[in-house]
Structure formats: C-alpha cells, structure tokens
C-alpha cells in the first residue's frame, strides 16, 4: 500500500513540476506581444528605382541581405527580394547592367509600423507568405525591414536553454529527409 502512495506522490509531484513549467512557458510567450521595435534590427538599405539589377545583386551579396527597399522621395515605393530575382529575372537572359530594379520589384508592398506586436507581424508574414516586411513610419518612410529570421532569432533567445540542451541527433529522425529545406 505504501508503494502505491509513493507512486501517487511521485505522479502528483511530476504534474506540479509540469504545471510550473507551463506557467513559465506562458510567461515567455508574452514576449510575442513585444513591439517590432524591441528587436535589434539593422537599418534598412534603401535604393532608388533606377538602380541596375547588377548593382542590386552586388549590394545584396556584399551586405548579406535578402531584400532591398526601393524609395522615391524618401517614401517606400517597392521591395526587391530574393524571390523577385528567382521569379522575375533568373533564366530570362537579361543584361543585368541595363535593367532597373523598378521594373522587377514588388510595387506598393504591405508594411507594418514599428509598434506592431511580434505575434501580429509573424501572423501577417505567414498569411501573406512574406519573408520580409518593411517597417515604415507614419509618413511611409522605411525604417527597418523585418525578416522572418529576426523573429525566429528573437524567439530562440527566450528558449535558448531548451534549444541548447537538445541532443545532437534527434531520437526519432523520421521527420528529417535528404531533400533538406
């Protein structure tokens, strides 16, 4: 009988420990209500629309970034991303020095303001299929460009110990495939 009581006590203890970790997790999730401007984002790189595709590609490589913001009179006119390169330029035998980014950018992109909560920004990006969203001020001037990588890095910082303590090889690697991602 005492073994049963010890077993029950152990189960109750485990449940209570699990409950406290759930409370901790829910407190960490609150950080998704932080505004976008709480992230350490670097200033967006803005270029005029008459910049050549060749110069854009070089700038993206040099700065190791996935998008450029195109401005006209200091206001956001478009965004030029890696996806634009793949969908609109690659394989078309274009002379990259002779064509302007304004002809291949995404015009009038969806934007957010810097006070938007991270959860809203993440949902916005997932629903829109965006990897980058320009963050603009009230006059539609670009301030930052938020990337999905910025949000994942922010979330990863709050779950650092859980991520850092994962085994080097998953116990069930059935989800890992050779195809990669």
Residue-level pLDDT at 21: 43
Residue-level pLDDT at 166: 72
List of the chain residues with pLDDT < 70: 1-30, 169-181
Residue-level pLDDT at 171: 64
Do residues 134 and 111 lie in contact, with contact meaning Cβ atoms separated by under 8 Å? yes
Residue-level pLDDT at 30: 45
**CB neighbours of 151 closer than 8 A, spacing ≥ 6?**
39, 118, 121, 122, 125
User: Which CATH number applies to 36-157: 1.10.1040.50, 2.40.160.60, 3.60.20.30, 3.10.580.10?
Assistant: 3.10.580.10
Name the pTM for this structure.
Answer: 0.71
């Amino acid at each position: 009988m005492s073994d049963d009581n010890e077993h029950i006590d152990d189960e109750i203890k485990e449940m209570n420990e699990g409950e406290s970790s759930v409370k901790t997790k829910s407190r960490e999730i609150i950080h998704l209500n932080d505004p976008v401007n709480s992230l350490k984002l670097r200033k967006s790189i803005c270029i005029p629309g008459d910049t050549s595709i060749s110069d854009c590609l070089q700038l993206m490589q040099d700065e190791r970034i996935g998008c450029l913001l195109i401005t006209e009179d200091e206001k956001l006119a478009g965004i030029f991303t890696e996806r634009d390169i793949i969908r609109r330029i690659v394989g078309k035998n274009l002379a990259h020095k002779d064509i302007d980014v304004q002809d291949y950018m995404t015009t009038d992109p969806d934007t957010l303001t810097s006070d938007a909560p991270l959860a809203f920004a993440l949902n916005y990006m997932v629903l829109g299929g965006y990897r980058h969203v320009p963050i603009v001020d009230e006059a539609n001037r670009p301030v930052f460009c938020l990337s999905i990588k910025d949000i994942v890095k922010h979330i990863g910082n709050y779950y650092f110990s859980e991520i850092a303590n994962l085994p080097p090889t998953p116990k069930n690697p059935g989800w890992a495939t050779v195809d990669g991602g």
